[in-house]
């Protein structure tokens, strides 16, 4: 632990011209007294750390000293590729590895390039969770992430609907989608997707000795070299979207409604419906386009299509058309009836 801290101190001083004791203490998460002791230890070990006295003083390395401890370890290199998603790193327990990797990279750069990391961080940022959601880190995410990094087989209990099932999994990859973590894993020869927050227990699967290792320790698996996580996720996401669209709605859309439809319903399905309608004949003389849109259910379609307002007219099914017509009448009444929420009575309450 202390050796790692001393290495980090050297890398910090190598990456910056000078640092105060308070700055080093903050970066290393120790007291300033500990910083003083560590500097003395480095000096005794032959590292030329010099202390400038006075108000503007601090610690610096003398004579262009450069450590050779800048080689990236495996976990640090892997974490570095994810360093644009700091919240994801923290949740997977990789924040320290990423921090060490960035320090090593900074130490290896020419002095005029050492502000590259800060410049990039101030210009690009990924905010993965969706709006209006308070993201929660699944308790077992760090354990699963470790298994993914190490290609280690695990035994897991998973909550599926109202029952708990047990599975032995080969965890291939993690996906963060709109603030929700998913695991892509192989089970009994098939690749499947699991929500990480539904795991109730995860532990390493014991080695049965089948690989000649003697049957000790956690069992590791050999990854399928053809597995492509981004391509797998894109395919499964598309399959899921198609699988839940079991009903159809016939819509007549204005030009504005055509533009709005992909933003109020499933985007790929909306665009496909619009392209099909255009290819089949295009808009009518009034510029309206009639599309057949796959939807999850009448209830979901009702909630989504309300957002189109007068830019979309449901032609079928008749029950959905009647519900939207009734909603339109109620909405119109709010703006025309004197006793409505926007009428004289409401105005009197505001005045009082």
Q: Residue 267 is encoded by which pair of tokens?
A: 């985007």
Helix runs in 265-343, H state only: 267-280, 298-305, 318-336
Q: Residue 341 is encoded by which pair of tokens?
A: 């929420």
Query: What is the CA 181 to chain-centroid distance, rounded?
Result: 7
pLDDT reported for residue 212: 40
Give which of 132, 147, 154, 164 is closest to 206, Cα–Cα: 154
pTM summary value? 0.50
Residue carrying the six token digits 């006075």: 54
Query: What phi, psi does 286 have (nearest 5°)?
Result: -85, 5
Which segments within the chain are labelled E, that is strand?
49-52, 58-61, 154-160, 163-177, 180-187, 190-195, 199-204, 247-253, 289-295, 312-316
pLDDT by 10s per residue, the chain, length 352: 576 788 788 888 887 778 888 889 888 889 988 988 888 888 887 788 888 876 667 888 887 676 655 555 555 545 544 555 555 666 666 666 666 666 666 665 555 545 555 544 444 455 555 665 666 778 898 899 889 988 999 999 999 878 999 999 999 988 888 778 889 999 988 999 999 999 999 998 875 544 444 444 568 899 998 988 888 988 888 888 778 888 999 999 999 999 999 999 988 889 999 999 999 989 999 999 999 999 988 899 999 999 999 999 999 999 999 999 999 999 999 888 666 554 444 444 444 4
Distance CA 3, CA 97 (A): 15
Query: What is the CA 32 to chain-centroid distance, rounded?
Result: 36
Distance CA 100, CA 106 (A): 10
Distance CA 130, CA 178 (A): 5
Q: List the Cα angle 100/101/106 in 5-degree steps.
A: 100
Q: Residue 83 is encoded by which pair of tokens?
A: 């360093």
Residue 162 is given by DSSP the state T
C-alpha distances in angstroms, 22 versus 7, 34, 55, 58? 18, 11, 12, 9
Sign of CA dihedral 162, 180, 205, 90: negative
**Other CB atoms within 10 Å distance of the CB of residue 124:** 8
Q: Residue 105 is encoded by which pair of tokens?
A: 């990279």
HEC profile of 51-96: EECCCCCEEEECCCCCCCCCCCCHHHHHHHCCCCCHHHHHHHCCHH
pLDDT reported for residue 122: 44
With beta carbons less than 8 A apart as the criterion, state whether 203 and 219 touch: no
With beta carbons less than 8 A apart as the criterion, state whether 83 and 126 touch: no
Distance CA 278, CA 280 (A): 5
Q: Residue 123 is encoded by which pair of tokens?
A: 């210009």
Give which of 179, 147, 185 is closest to 167, Cα–Cα: 185
Residue carrying the six token digits 């291939």: 172
């Amino acid at each position: 632990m202390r050796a790692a801290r001393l290495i980090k101190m050297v890398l910090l001083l190598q990456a910056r011209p000078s640092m105060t004791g308070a700055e080093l203490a903050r970066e290393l998460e120790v007291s300033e007294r500990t910083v003083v002791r560590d500097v003395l230890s480095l000096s005794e070990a032959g590292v030329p750390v010099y202390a400038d006295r006075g108000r503007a003083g601090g610690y610096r390395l003398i004579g262009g000293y450069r450590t050779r401890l800048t080689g990236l370890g495996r976990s640090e290199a892997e974490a570095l590729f994810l360093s644009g998603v700091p919240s994801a790193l923290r949740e997977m327990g990789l924040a320290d590895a990423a921090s060490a990797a960035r320090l090593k990279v900074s130490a290896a750069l020419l002095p005029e390039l050492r502000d590259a990391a800060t410049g990039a961080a101030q210009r690009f940022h990924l905010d993965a969770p969706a709006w209006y959601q308070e993201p929660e880190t699944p308790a077992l995410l760090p354990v699963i992430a470790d298994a993914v990094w190490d290609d280690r087989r695990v035994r897991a209990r998973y909550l599926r609907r109202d029952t708990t099932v047990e599975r032995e999994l080969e965890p291939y990859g993690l996906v963060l989608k709109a603030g929700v973590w998913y695991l892509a894993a192989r089970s009994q020869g098939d690749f499947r997707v699991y929500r990480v927050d539904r795991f109730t227990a995860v532990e390493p699967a014991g080695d049965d000795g089948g690989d000649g290792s003697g049957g000790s320790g956690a069992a590791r698996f050999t990854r399928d070299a053809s597995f492509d996580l981004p391509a797998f996720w894109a395919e499964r996401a598309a399959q899921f979207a198609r699988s839940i669209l079991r009903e159809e709605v016939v819509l007549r859309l204005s030009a504005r409604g055509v533009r709005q439809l992909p933003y109020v319903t499933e985007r790929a399905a909306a665009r496909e419906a619009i392209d099909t309608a255009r290819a089949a004949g295009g808009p009518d003389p009034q510029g309206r386009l009639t599309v057949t849109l796959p939807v999850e259910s009448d209830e979901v379609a009702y909630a989504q299509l309300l957002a189109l307002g007068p830019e979309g007219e449901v032609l079928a099914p008749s029950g959905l058309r009647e519900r939207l017509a009734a909603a339109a009448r109620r909405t119109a009444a709010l703006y025309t009836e004197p006793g409505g929420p926007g009428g004289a009575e409401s105005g009197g309450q505001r005045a009082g």
